[in-house]
Amino acid sequence: MVKVRGLANVNAMGASGGINPEVSQSQCEVISNKRVGAYHHITLAAPTIAEHARPGNFVAISVGDMRSSMLLRRSFAIYQTVPRGPFGGTLEIIVAPHGPGSTWITQREPHEKLDVVGPLGNAFKIPKDPVRALLVGGGYGSAPLFSLAETLRQKNSRVEMAIGASTAERIFAPVEGKRSVHSLMIATEDGSLGSKGRVTDLFDNSLSAIDIVYACGPMAMLKALTEIGRKTGVLVQCAVEESMACGVGLCMTCVLPVRDSDGVIKMLRSCIEGPIFDGATVQWDGIGTIPPGTYGAPR
């Protein structure tokens, strides 16, 4: 497969909100594929991506070869990368087999190859000074939060994490990940692990002793956290899960209404301008609509 690096660095100059300048496309060998609860933890040999990925970035993986009947790439948040290890640089993702495409990916065995494009999208913004951070994950939305926790701790931040899911087997909280955080709270809707209820119930509308929230999960959870953040004056960085066809900014399917710095609502691509947005700028109630006043809305 073609592998051209560095071109985007030059071409992206002057372009705002362009594709991740570090993106590359490569055939990545599966190193391991392990079942973790309801998910699969897949490790890929991906030296170029591993070198450049930052917490919050994602990868887009094709399903089958060019004769596949499933044409659209599946996008996954990067769980973690190891730039230099026994297999060279590796990339790890957490995949839930919920459709035929993601199921195909979870069936790959070691030595098989996957066509991977990445790193894609923007990254979580990391404050320069130490902060008290709360990281909230819904289901396998916790996956990108562990490398974020690691980065925050290197800046001497205090990191609390909360993970919620419908049931225990949908909580992704690996032992090694738990070491990256100072505290971990878990909530399941059926009460099979941690507190019974939703993860947002854990905060009871208050965020005492928290400077910043980072969240990844379903839109309803992100919306609820943004609301809690608004009431308490805390910034909430949200990694959205919007359905993507290409992951690289071509198809315009993964858009959502976001208020830009000039106060104008625009339909922004979550693969290019996201997936991380300041929750306060996302028009959560307008998702699935073109909110009135949106730039270029039908008159």
Among 99, 93, 214, which Cα is nearest to 163's? 214
How many C-alpha atoms does 283 have within 13 Å on its Cβ side?
21
Q: Which is nearer to another protein, 86 or 288 (CB)?
A: 288
Query: How far, in Å, CA of 85 to CA of 158, rounded?
Result: 28
Among 199, 218, 202, 225, which Cα is nearest to 279's? 225
Q: Which is nearer to another protein, 87 or 104 (CB)?
A: 104
State in angstroms the smallest separation of the CB of 264 from another protein.
10
State in angstroms the smallest separation of the CB of 213 from another protein.
25
At residue 36, φ and ψ (nearest 5 deg) are -130, 100
State in angstroms the smallest separation of the CB of 112 from another protein.
18
Q: Which is nearer to another protein, 78 or 212 (CB)?
A: 78
Which residues form the interface with another protein (CB under 8 A)? 1-2, 4, 7-8, 11-12, 14-15, 18-19, 21, 23, 25, 62, 66-73, 101, 115, 117, 242-243, 245-246, 248-256, 266-267, 272, 287-290, 294-298
Q: Which residues fall within 8 angstroms of residue 50, CB to CB, at 6 or more apart?
A: 81, 82, 83, 88, 89, 90, 91
State in angstroms the smallest separation of the CB of 140 from another protein.
20
Q: Which is nearer to another protein, 18 or 97 (CB)?
A: 18
CB 274 within 8 A of CB 122: yes
Q: Which is nearer to another protein, 14 or 86 (CB)?
A: 14
Residue that is written with structure tokens 């951070």 in the block: 133
Query: How far, in Å, CA of 125 to CA of 157, rounded?
Result: 13
Q: Which is nearer to another protein, 28 or 148 (CB)?
A: 28
Residue that is written with structure tokens 């990256």 in the block: 180
The amino acid at 14: G
Q: Given phi > 0 = left and psi -120 to 50 = alpha, else beta, which region is 14?
A: left
State in angstroms the smallest separation of the CB of 1 from another protein.
7
Q: Which is nearer to another protein, 17 or 127 (CB)?
A: 17
State in angstroms the smallest separation of the CB of 2 from another protein.
4
State in angstroms the smallest separation of the CB of 11 from another protein.
4
Kind plus residue range of the DSSP H or E element containing 48: helix 47-52
Q: Which is nearer to another protein, 3 or 111 (CB)?
A: 3
State in angstroms the smallest separation of the CB of 244 from another protein.
9
CB 18 within 8 A of CB 37: no
Query: How far, in Å, CA of 92 to CA of 49, rounded?
Result: 11
